[in-house]
Each structure stands twice: as structure tokens, then as C-alpha cells.
Amino acid sequence: MCGIVGILGRGPVAEQLVESLKRLEYRGYDSAGVATLEGDHLERRRAEGKLKNLEARLSGDPLSGHTGIGHTRWATHGKPTESNAHPHATDNVAIVHNGIIENFRELRAELEQNGASFASETDTEVVAHLVESHLKNGYSPQDAVKASLPRLRGAFALAFLFKGHNDLMIGARKGSPLAIGHGDGEMYLGSDAIALAPFTDTITYLEDGDWVVLTRTIGVIYDSNGAVAHRETLKSGASSFLVDRANYRHFMAKEIHEQTEVVGQTLARYVDMTAKRIALPFELPFDFNDIGRISITACGTASYAGHVAKYWFERLARMPVEIDVASELRYREAPLRKGDLAIVISQSGETADTLAALRYAKAQGLHTVSVVNVPTSTIARESETVLPTLAGPEIGVASTKAFTCQLMVMAALAIAAGKERGELSDIDEMKFVGELIEVPRLIAAALAIEPQIEKLALDIAKSSAVLYLGRGTSFPLALEGALKLKEISYIHAEGYAAGELKHGPIALIDESMPVVVIAPYDRVFEKTVSNMQEVAARGGNIILMTDATGASEATVDSLATIVLPDMASTFTPMVYAIPVQLLAYHTAVVMGTDVDQPRNLAKSVTVE
């Protein structure tokens, strides 16, 4: 992953580079660094860990150059040490890189044979040495980069700085995003428009295979064949203000609490509240009656949103749905049928596996719809139809509000499909839309149970493992609950279909095992109660998330019963997501972990 930035400025750029890196920390925060041209020298400052360490390094040993590049890292090759931190440099070139150079071993061996000496364990450093080798052979910087790029296999966004060339920066993209920012006598490169927003809103996105030669006044873009390419310049709309935590202790807490509002905004974009009808923001370029099968692909939390949606499409539109994690779809060479529909779901819109799945589906001739939160993202730009979620910037690494907004969009789409296929009547549509309209209010009611969850978190924090169980649409929510808990509290957790318990995981249950059962009072409630009995009989500590009827009908003793508002059963995951998220959040707070930036993770996963 990683975030990269480059500035050809009119004054010292180190501070601006750091300002920009702060906005890219969602892409990784293992280490950070900047390089500037100080007169005729390339100078670097790098530090392990969060950006504050780099800031401290810079305040003790400042840089004053007007041309510079910066990087925040999510380690792929080599530990997150200072020597592996970017920028990587040789005598004449410094580079920052986002992505993976897959053939770095062979390139490194070749370069070492020719006398290059490496200072890091990274894949990135080979690029610096490769370019350096061409410079030493008398190539210009531009020709050296041009000769090097075809030798790189893998995904990358790169920014290059050259000793002795104060008015030059080169950028290149293949697979990983890179944008040019146009300033007044200044030029910028950045992983996204958000990184550049404090300096400019005039943005040109490079396309795959493009590379650009920048000076302070002009940027010349070349495509992968070396021909000059013209790419559209847009106004980005990204806010120049860093989103703040308001009065919350963590972004995650703020984002959990924002759900009433953002799910409501998303709802308002997809339904006509007065008529109680679905009103999609864009006309779909296909008819659901012509679609034989839907293929939903996503990663992590977004894939669980897709998993819930599978139940909705099957039930409301009677459509066959396949759900895949994106990293699997592509390599198992799934036989997709031309003319069918592929839906990809992604908060960031930059997840490498999801993007690859989208491209795979496009290549097979499917219609593509993306459900994304960042409308300027690569996935949004490359899909046939974009259905935006209106969650606003999600900063906490653990996805919360994007998930419920994804569910809202998918619910609206499933109803639209059911209606178009004649599976739902006008009355049905109005009934289901009526249920969606209730959701923001129900989320607000669910948030009111926070004090109870806060107390419960004290118990969960003492556990070494937690099981989550659910049936129907509560099953993917159980998976999501387990993911959320493990990623921010580091407590091992697993989610299971409640009926699967007896096929293995029941062996884990003893008095020390909390079992979170997600069971709204719906048509499978009684079955789930039977599974709870099995847990109780083996001494497991049940935490039941249900509604008032469920609480009175459940005949099993529980450690805690979390009573959520009564609601119609179809769209319960959007409301039951709240206690699931709160439980993970408060447990992590008790454990004292870095809730918003948990170890080893990054917000945008742009490597395979």
C-alpha cells in the first residue's frame, strides 16, 4: 500500500510533505520519510513508526529544499525499520513507491552483479538502482526512467527525484493510483486528491501504464507506449481540511455515532421517501431480467456487506448470487457469463484485489456496478455504473459507517431488482422501502445501548477468544463481528453460521469462552436458540443480541442480553451492526490498543 507525495514548490517543501503524508496515513503507518534537494544534494530524513517520529526527526534536523518527495509505509518487503523506510536513494536518484515490484529478486541479483550495493531489504530499492545504472551510462533522467519502467513487473506508483535537477520530478503508475496536482508555479504528485487538497484542487489522474515528467510549470504525460497522452484535468472536490475527531476519543467512535446520519443520507439518495419507492441515483444500463447471475466481489468488511446482500437478492429478487472474496475470484478463473452482472463493493475504491476482480469481470463481458465510498477512486472510475455510499471520509482503519451504508445501497438495489423482475409488487416495494426508511431511527435507538456494552467489554477484554454466531443475514454479521474484534483488540475471534457450531467449533466451548449470538426474533430465531442451548450446556458464556420478543422467548441463561429495538426482520444487519461495532470498540479501549490505527493494518490495501 503506502502513500506517496511529491512537491515541486516555490519555497521549502518538507512541512508540506508531512502535511500531505498525514492525509495519507490511512494507507500505512509503519514508517515514514522525506527526501529533498538541498542545493546540489539529495537529503533524506526517515523514521520508524508513526509520522510524529518523522516530525520529531525533522524538527531536530530540518530540510529546506524546494523540491521533495515523501512516503508513509505499509511494510511488504522488509521489516518496518528506518533502513527499509522510503525514500530509497542512490547517488543521483531518490524514489518513493507504493505497490510491489514482483521481479525484484532477479533485478537485485542482476544489479548486484553489476556492482550495486543495497542498503535495504525492500523491493523498492531495485528501482532506484535500475534508474541509477542508466544515469551512470549517460542517460537523461527521463530516458533512464523510460528505460527502467518496462523492466518492472508488479504494481507500482513511483515518484522520482534527481540530484542536480531542481525543476524536475517524474512519476509513474501501473496498478497503484497516482494523481498530478496543478498549482500556481508549483506541481504535485500524490497517491490521491485528498493528499493534495491543502495545496490544489486541480487534479489529473494518471491512467494505468502512464508516466509523467513534471516541472513547476508543466506536466507531460506519456502512455505505456511512450506516446504523449492527454488526460482530463478535474476539480477534485476533496476537502483541504483534515477531518477531526470532534469530541470523540477515537475516529472509530465518531464514525460509529455518525451512522444515523450517513445511513440516512445514503437512504435519501436511493429512495423516494414520499412515494416509498426505490429511486436509484443513476439509470442502470441493463435490465435485471436479462441477468442470469450476480457475482459480488469485495474484501474484508465490504465482502460481508456483499454476503448479507446475497441473501437479499436471493430472497427479494429470486436471483442466483455468488459471493467471492476478491483475492480468490480472479485466480480461480471463475467462469462468468457475458452479459451477467458483477458488483464490487469497496470503501476506498482502491483495494487492489477488488480492482483486479472488477477488471476480470469486465474482461469477461459482464456489466459492472461498483458500490464505493470514494467517488474519485480507481474502482469508481473503471466501473460501468457507480453507486456511491454517502458515508463521508472514514478514517478509523476498522470499517464501520461504510459497512452500514454499503448495506443500505445493496438493500435498495435488491429491492429494485425484485421489482424489475416482477418478484415484488408495488405494495411489496412500498413495504420494504418503508422498512428502510425506519433504519436511521433504529440505528439511533441501538446506539443508546452503548453504556451496557461498555460494561460488557470489561468481561470480553479478559477473554483470549470469542465466538460469534448467527443464522441467515446474521451469519455474515457474525463474521463481521469477529473481524472487528480481532483487528482492533487483537483478541482471537471467529464467526460461524450458528448451525455449523456442532460440526467442529463446539469443541472450543468451555466456561472461559464468550459466545456472541446475533439473533433478532425472525423466522430462524428458534433454530438459533437451539444452538444457544448447545453452547449453554457446555458452560459457554452467551451474550445475546436480540429484540424484546427474542429476549423474552430465549429460554437460555446468558451472561448478557442486549435488547435492540423491534423491527421488521429483513434489514436487521444494518441495526445489529451497531452493538457488534460498539463491543469491538469498547473492548479495544479496555485493552488499550491503538484503535484507529491497529497494528499491521492499513486503511487502503493497494497490494495483492
All residues at 6 or more sequence positions from 294 whose CB lies less than 8 Å from its CB, including other chains: 313, 319, 320, 321, 322, 340, 341, 342, 343
Closest to ligand F6R by CB, 43 vs 255, is 255
Helix (H) or strand (E) segment spanning residue 223: none
Instruction: Out of 351, 389, 558, 581, point to the residue binding ligand F6R (CB under 6 A).
Output: 351
Sign of CA dihedral 387, 406, 194, 379: negative
Of 2 and 47, CB closest to ligand F6R = 2
Q: Which stretch binds ligand F6R (CB under 6 A): 166-174, 199-207, 282-290, 299-307?
A: 299-307
> Which residue lies nearer to ligand F6R by CB, 219 or 306?
306
Q: Applying CB under 6 A, which of residues 347, 561, 587, 597 lies at the interface with ligand F6R?
A: 347
CB of 55 to ligand F6R, least distance (A): 26
**Cβ closest to ligand F6R, residue 13 vs residue 516:** 516
Which range touches ligand F6R (CB under 6 A), out of 190-198, 231-239, 294-302, 591-599?
Answer: 294-302
**346 binding ligand F6R? (CB under 6 A):** yes
Q: Interface with ligand F6R includes 388 (CB under 6 A)?
A: no
Does residue number 302 form part of the binding site for ligand F6R (CB under 6 A)? Answer: yes
Are the beta carbons of 75 and 599 closer than 8 angstroms?
no
CB nearer ligand F6R, residue 36 or residue 327: 327
d(CA 88, CA 42): 11
Count the site residues for ligand F6R by CB under 6 A: 15
Q: Which stretch binds ligand F6R (CB under 6 A): 19-27, 346-354, 555-563, 567-575?
A: 346-354
Cβ-contact 16, 36 below 8 angstroms:
no
Asked about 299 being catalytic, the answer comes back as: no
| Contacting residue, 133, 191, 399, 572, with ligand F6R by CB under 6 A | 399
Find the part of the chain contacting ligand F6R (CB under 6 A) among 224-232, 259-267, 300-308, 508-516.
Answer: 300-308
The Cα diameter of the chain in Å comes to 81
* 134/224 Cα distance (integer angstroms): 19
- Candidate ranges 108-116, 217-225, 345-353, 410-418; the one touching ligand F6R (CB under 6 A): 345-353
Exactly one of 299, 415, 564, 580 binds ligand F6R (CB under 6 A); that residue is: 299
Strand partners, 235: 202
CA distances from 499 to 217, 518, 558 (A): 64, 13, 19
* Closer residue to ligand F6R, CB minimum distance, 48 or 255: 255
DSSP strand pairing (271-272 vs 202-205): unpaired
Q: Which stretch binds ligand F6R (CB under 6 A): 235-243, 348-356, 408-416, 496-504?
A: 348-356
Stretch of 43-51, 341-349, 383-391, 489-497 lying at the interface with ligand F6R (CB under 6 A): 341-349
Binding mask 472-491 for ligand F6R (x = CB under 6 A): -----------x---x----
The verdict on whether omega for the bond into residue 514 sits within 30 degrees of 0, i.e. cis, is no
Q: What is the C-alpha to C-alpha distance for residues 204 and 232, in angstroms, rounded to an integer?
A: 6
Among candidate residues 234, 198, 186, 250, the one with its CA nearest the CA of residue 21: 198
Residue type, 580: V
Residues 72-131 that bind ligand F6R (CB under 6 A): none
Q: Give yes or no for residue 327 binding ligand F6R (CB under 6 A).
A: no
Among 259, 301, 370, 606, binds ligand F6R (CB under 6 A): 301
One of 176, 260, 348, 474 touching ligand F6R (CB under 6 A):
348
Options 174, 276, 401, 603, the catalytic residue: 603
| 305 or 317: CB nearest ligand F6R | 305
Write the binding mask 192 to 231 for ligand F6R: x where contact by CB under 6 A, - elsewhere. Answer: ----------------------------------------
Q: Looking at beta carbons, which residue is closest to ligand F6R? A: 300
Q: How far is the CB of 453 from ligand F6R (least distance, A)?
A: 18
Judged by CB, which is closer to ligand F6R: 355, or 575? 355
Instruction: Please name the helix (run of DSSP H) or strand (run of DSSP E) that holds residue 54, with its range, or none.
Output: helix 51-60
Q: Which residues contact 363 (CB under 8 A, 6 or more apart)?
A: none
What is the smallest separation between the CB atom of 25 and ligand F6R, expressed in angstroms? Answer: 15
What's the burial of 195, exposed, middle or buried (CB within 10 Å: 0-12/13-18/19+)?
A: buried
Torsion sign (Cα): 15, 17, 23, 26? negative
- Tell the smallest beta-carbon distance from residue 462 to ligand F6R (Å): 23
Return the C-alpha cell found at 91: 547517488
Q: Which of 20, 191, 354, 597 binds ligand F6R (CB under 6 A)?
A: 354
Cα–Cα distance measured from residue 452 to residue 311, given in angstroms and rounded to the nearest whole number: 30
- Of all helices (H) and strands (E), which one includes residue 271? strand 271-272
How far apart CA 267 and CA 411 sit, in angstroms, is 10
**Choice between 488 and 575, CB closer to ligand F6R:** 488
Question: Residue 504 — φ and ψ, nearest 5°?
Answer: 155, -60
Give the shortest CB-233-to-ligand F6R separation in angstroms. 26
Least distance to ligand F6R, CB of residue 305, Å: 9
Nearer to ligand F6R, 18 or 380 (CB): 380
DSSP letter string, 572-604: THHHHHHHHHHHHHHHHHHHT--SSS-TT--SS
Give the position of cell 452493538. 579
Q: Does 605 bind ligand F6R (CB under 6 A)?
A: yes
Of the candidates 482, 498, 495, the one whose C-alpha atom is nearest the C-alpha of residue 581 is 482
Among 175, 190, 300, 470, binds ligand F6R (CB under 6 A): 300
Angle between helices 426-447 and 573-591 (to 10 degrees): 20
CB 359 → ligand F6R: shortest distance, Å? 15
How far is 493 from 515, CA to CA, in rounded Å? Answer: 10
Q: Which of 2, 22, 310, 486 is catalytic?
A: 2
Q: Which stretch binds ligand F6R (CB under 6 A): 102-110, 288-296, 343-351, 562-570?
A: 343-351
Tell me which residue of 259, 579, 543, 558 sits closest to 448, measured CA to CA. 579
Smallest distance, ligand F6R to C-beta of residue 403, A = 8
For the chain, report the end-to-end CA distance as a whole number of angstroms: 9
Residue positions annotated with a catalytic role: 2, 603
* Residues found near ligand F6R in the complex (CB under 6 A): 299-302, 346-348, 351, 354, 398-399, 483, 487, 604-605
